[in-house]
Chains A and B, each alone.
Chain A
Amino acid sequence: MSAIFKPSANFFARFSLVLVATVLGGGLLGLWGYFRTPYAQGLQEEIAQPILFDHRHHVVDDLIDCRYCHFNAERGASAGIPSTEMCLNCHAQIWNKSPKLEPVRRSYFTGAPIEWNRVHQLPDFTYFNHSIHVSKGIGCVSCHGRIDQMPAVTKVASLQMSWCLECHRNPAPNLRPRDQITSMTWQPPDDPAAAKTLAADLMKTYDVHSRVSCTTCHR
């Protein structure tokens, strides 16, 4: 009676085992990699807004401070999105005939609010508070990126928990003086020693703690 399996069957058996392991492993690795891509994290995705609002112009050309419109960033959990009325503080006077601002005027006169599309979206079980971050010396740019260079606001940080924890475990390198909070260009001193001294100094002055208890953000 001849053998049922030829010797070459051994090769196929081994090969298919390797194949299964590769496909499974590769798949998992692929998924692991995929969720780290900017695409999966929704980074650099330009989100259409009902009004062609350009931060570049308002921040760079007009030198308007972030807190003029996002008035609540220093005082509350939410930074606040400006009301229609606030837009018209200026645009009642300038560009008040611009067809691009028609939706703003319509909102003002009809009382129907403008519906913006959210860019920075946290899960409902995560409680982020702007005021505490600002008061401890975290700049706008640290999380929101170079808004002054964005035609349409895009997300630059993944906002995933690991990203939050990087800073929550070691806040020192991300601190800056409070008067530089809204600066888009402030950089720590080039000299690493000086940067370290400044960071240590700010940690002490602003009484910054590393807070990593779950309930710091999840309640």
Chain B
Amino acid sequence: MPSMKSLPVIQDEPRAPGHRSLWQSVEELEARAAVSRGEFAAGAAEVPPELSRRSFMQILGASAALGGLAACQPPREKIVPFVHEPPEDRPGKRFHYATALSFDGYATGLLVGAADGRPVKVEGNPAHPASLGASSTWEQGALLDLYDPERARGIWRKGQPLSWRGFLAEIQQLAKVHDADGGARLAFLLAPDASPTQADLLRRIQARFPKARFHAWAPITEENAAEGARIAFGRPLDARPSLDAARAILSLDADFLSGHGESLRLTREFARHREPGAGMNRLYVAEPAMSLTGANADHRFRMRGTEVASFARAVAVKLGVVPIAPALSPELALAAKAVAADLSANRGRSLVLAGARQPPAVHALAHAMNAALGNVGVTVTYSRPVLGEAAPSAASLPALAKEIQAGKVDTLVITAWNPAHAAPAGLDFGALLAKVPNAVYHSIREDETSRRCSWRVAASHPFESWGDGRSRGGVASLVQPLIAPLYESVSTIDLLASFLGQGDRGAMQHVKAYWMARSAIDPAFFEPQWERWLRQGVVPGTAEASETALVDVAAVASSLGRLSLPKGDGVELAFAPSYGLFDGRFGTNAWLQELPDPITKVSWDNAAYLSEATAKRLGVADGQVATLALGNRSVQAPLKVMPGHADDAVTLALGYGRSDGSAVSKGVGVDAYPLRDAGAWFAPGLSVKAGKGKHKFAIAQGHFGMEGRPLALDFTSEKWGHAEGGGELEHLRGMPATLQVPVDYSKQEYSWGMSVDLSRCTGCNGCVIACQEENNIATVGKEQVAKGRIMHWIRTDRYFSGPAADPETITQPVMCQQCETAPCEYVCPVNATVHSEEGLNEMVYNRCVGTRYCSNNCPYKVRRFNFLNWRPEVPNVQTLLFNPDVTVRSRGVMEKCTYCVQRIEGARIDARAGGKKIGFVQTACQQACPAEAIVFGNLNDPQSRVRKLHDDARRYDLLHELGTRPRTAYLVKIRNPNPELA
């Protein structure tokens, strides 16, 4: 095999002028000079170990013997119609219902698509302020959780099953016992939830049991922000940023483009102002590990998590908010000066954001800076806290533990997620639970906590239950079920109501009664209102009004004075929520486990991230398994060098290393909780000792190396002005030199095309999961991902440029480019991939014989092959998940993106059956994208947005020189660096 380096096209450095060479990973950077890696990922050509030669021969023989039978007629199917047809029934038609999904307390409005009564696709609700029509990986992933065959079912007490009636009777008995002492021995450990109905129920429970204790708890809290507001304003207030008007944004370790609550809205507002021109914003990020927000920064300052406070203070000093500048390195001092100058230059149009991990003083300082910059009311508003009493507190678990230890708790009702697993280090909460006579654990899955609780109550999925919720900012939404509970299970509202003797009333009645009482509408007229709220997915008039708040600068300054700054040069451990599993609650979700981390592209794993310099200083190497020790606590974790990580710091993502849960979550990654104190984010004095083993990561990037071609292009806003005039992209678009006689598509009524704006894309991966859900894409597991067999039809490539220690990042979603002269089509011996008259590169699964020539000839490497039958035995319940409009592929078949052709054809049929033209079609990735980076439509319609974007000055074609004439156009990323920091 000739070395890849000998091919001149590949060898060429980027031809776009002014471009630095791109590299994708540390491995690649090191391997640049080394010999080529070979054609296949290691082991990709081998039969998996589960399939021995002997069993292979057996299968071969069996399939030959059974081959003749296959020609017979398929078994006759049954048609099972309804007995009583629901009036709205339209077999095969997709209905969307508005509902909401609460995540750590805050709701995001959704439209969930149901086909024949089963939810099959999650979309954002355009009418909901936290969604605006977009959805994140977590909302999409919720659907897989619904159909998880390993969900908890039934109600159990000490290993004995209980009926719902039996349970209610038992709770009635318990409640009577607690009535005697006013609930002094009754405690609740609740998951944070802004649900008004739930709050109302809790108030009523409190009234019945005045001495009962209510603790809200979650592994990840925002107490620092609440405390920061209390310092600055003297009362707790929620800060609501608005990026529409912001021109200069400083993020102090705030990963506002991911996470929960409002990241979808903030991503949209951020992305809308990333196009070149006067309105373009500029983002500064100070943080330890590279976050999604850091990857999108125009200037990223890497520093240890505890040093962010000093940096913030240095900026504040330049802004004249506080006196006394802290000691900073010369580069950071220079940066702080430039940032402060830019913020003041954009008075009233700037914004300072502090992250949840930062101490309260930094939050207070951010409020003070915003006030000093005149941003309040423009880029940030304040309102009463939405969660209020329901806000989780890290201290609540140790407090509860003390009560249990003192024997003061007889009945403990837990709706919080898995406290036995995620409890702070040193607090053996699981063992304590065994001491509580009646520990009632309400959870959707059996996990570490349910094993230790005497009562287990299976929780209904949000798509199965009635409820309500509130977004950040307070807008309320009703939660309506899309399907009857798949297993015997109970909603939170039903569970809480059982303590009021109303468990058999039904959650819907509770929600309805609450809103009827609250709306003060005549009950006779309430029903139409209720129907309207259900249909729209939001309850009008529920948003929190913004309040005027004055910053107490003296209090801010004194809180800063009390802040202890890091001493010495020890290594600091930082905890971070994981991009896939958050705090671990998505550990059983195979989609989110397999989803590569947006920065490191590690799938099915977490790792201790550190910078190259730190690794060198500590004498450890990438991939080595090391012992991370904090005092006498330690965990074994594999190390991964992360470009752009702060020196003398290690970041470990939470949520992995479960000892229980399901086959998906068990033993994946490293559990960080044994190192973590209650609510701690940064811990000094970490010792890192290299161990013996070498860890094998499944990284979804090595096999996508694009070998130094001009792929993901970026310009600075300054250079772009010259490039645009100079026609620097001309050679990357338009008709390439080719021997092909091009087909003329201009006469067609429809000619489908797509555009991807790299300026807007943040790399959040929302499109990846949306595509997986829409197109019935299989997950393959860690071992197969490592072999390069990940099945995602759309992937987000991530490139680094510049120095490895402090690189610039660019993300690029790549899906099938629907080439007009598609290289895959020429080589298919069975015509399984052909072109439609509307320009789609079609994939005909039933023709495919699996030669893989097409994938071999695809320069974009977007074709995915079913090397094995990824779904040999789909549990019955998971077949409900499949999108009925897309074929489920089996082994030996090639598959790929077809611009969601099922949506195009569905829209065509709906339109043409009514004698109309196809109107608005969205692909799944486009619909999910919060940044509006992906646009799809008809290129032959001069009014369409995609046509305009194809004609945009920033447009270029991926691998244009190959003459493939892709239908997907990319728009170059524009960076907006501060000239002072250049």
By a beta-carbon cutoff of 8 Å, the part of chain A in contact with chain B is: 42, 47, 72, 75-78, 80-86, 107-108, 111-118, 121, 123-125, 127, 129, 131-132, 134-136, 207, 213-216, 218-219
Contacts and interface: CB of A to CB of B under 8 A. Distances in A.
A77 B83 contact: no
Given A118-B79, A121-B74, 9 more contacts: A76-B90, A77-B91, A85-B85, A116-B80, A116-B81, A121-B77, A134-B913, A213-B838, A219-B886
A84 B82 contact: yes
B836 A107 contact: no
Nearest to B78: A115
Given A76-B90, A135-B912, A84 B885 contact: no
A158 to B, nearest CB: 12
Interface in B838-872: 838, 840, 842, 844-846
Contacts of A80: 81, 91
B81 A83 contact: yes
Contacts of A84: 81-84
Top-7 shortest CB links A-B: A77-B92, A213-B836, A83-B85, A78-B91, A81-B81, A83-B82, A135-B913
A78 B838 CA distance: 26
Nearest to A108: B83
A47 B78 CA distance: 12
A102 to B, nearest CB: 15
B74 to A, nearest CB: 7
Interface string B84-95: 110000111100
25 contacts: A72-B90, A76-B91, A77-B91, A77-B92, A80-B91, A81-B81, A85-B83, A85-B85, A107-B83, A108-B83, A111-B83, A111-B84, A112-B83, A114-B81, A115-B80, A118-B78, A124-B888, A127-B902, A127-B905, A134-B913, A135-B914, A207-B912, A213-B840, A214-B836, A215-B842
A127 B80 CA distance: 19
B887 interface: yes
B78 A218 contact: no
Contacts of A127: 885, 902, 905
A134 B912 CA distance: 11
Given A75-B90, A76-B93, A118 B77 contact: yes
Nearest to A110: B83
Contacts of B85: 83, 85-86
Contacts of B836: 213-215
B486 interface: no
Nearest to B79: A116
Nearest to A31: B71
Nearest to B835: A213
A129 B909 CA distance: 8
B127 to A, nearest CB: 26
Given A83-B85, A207-B912, A125 B845 contact: yes
Contact of A219 (B82, B92, B885): B885
Nearest to A208: B912
A76 B92 contact: yes
B901 A219 contact: yes
Contact of A215 (B898, B912, B915): B898
Interface string B792-836: 000000000000000000000000000000000000000000101
Given A124-B887, A213-B842, A215-B898, A83 B84 contact: yes
A219 B776 CA distance: 12
A129 B84 CA distance: 24
Contacts of A77: 91-93, 909
A213 B748 CA distance: 14
Contacts of B78: 115-118
A132 B913 contact: yes
B562 interface: no
Nearest to A34: B71
B73 interface: yes
A39 to B, nearest CB: 11
Contact of B834 (A124, A135, A214): A214
A83 B87 CA distance: 11
Contacts of B747: none
A218 B83 CA distance: 31
Nearest to A50: B78
A132 B913 CA distance: 5
Contacts of B54: none
Interface string B880-912: 000001111000000000100110110001001
Contacts of A72: 90-92
A86 B89 CA distance: 13
Interface of B: 73-74, 76-85, 90-93, 834, 836-838, 840, 842, 844-846, 885-888, 898, 901-902, 904-905, 909, 912-915
A84 B85 CA distance: 8
A81 B898 CA distance: 32
Given A129-B909, A131-B909, A83 B83 contact: yes
A215 B845 CA distance: 10
A219 B76 contact: no
Contacts of B76: 47, 117-118, 121
A219 B883 CA distance: 11
A113 B83 contact: yes
B470 to A, nearest CB: 37
Query: Which of A127, A134, A219 has its CB near the most chain B CB atoms (within 10 A)?
Result: A219
B91 A123 contact: no
Given A129-B909, A213-B838, A219-B905, A81 B79 contact: yes
A185 B378 CA distance: 72
B912 A113 contact: no
B80 A113 contact: yes
Contacts of B80: 113-116
Given A42-B73, A77-B92, A83-B82, A219 B913 contact: no
Contacts of A135: 912-915
Interface centre among B73, B888, B904 (most CB of A within 10 A): B73
A155 B108 CA distance: 50
B83 A215 contact: no
Given A82-B81, A113-B82, A132 B885 contact: no
A218 B887 contact: yes
Nearest to A219: B902
Contacts of A218: 844-846, 887
Instruction: Give the one of B74, B840, B846, B914 with max A CB within 10 A.
Output: B846
Contacts of B77: 117-118, 121
A213 B835 CA distance: 8
Nearest to B836: A213
A132 B909 CA distance: 6
Contacts of A121: 74, 76-77
Contacts of A125: 845-846, 887
Nearest to A111: B83
Contacts of B886: 219
Nearest to B80: A113
A78 B80 CA distance: 13
B83 to A, nearest CB: 4
Nearest to A161: B846
A99 B93 CA distance: 36
A129 B913 CA distance: 10
A81 B681 CA distance: 59
**Residue picked from B80, B885, B898, most chain A C-beta under 10 Å:** B80
Contacts of B73: 42
A7 to B, nearest CB: 42
A53 B120 CA distance: 35
> Among the interface residues B81, B837, B838, B840, which one has the most CB atoms of the partner chain A within 10 A?
B81
Given A77-B91, A112-B83, A125-B845, A215 B840 contact: yes
Nearest to A84: B83
Nearest to A115: B78
Contacts of A81: 79, 81
A123 B890 CA distance: 14
B950 to A, nearest CB: 22
Nearest to A124: B887
Nearest to A218: B844
A95 B430 CA distance: 66
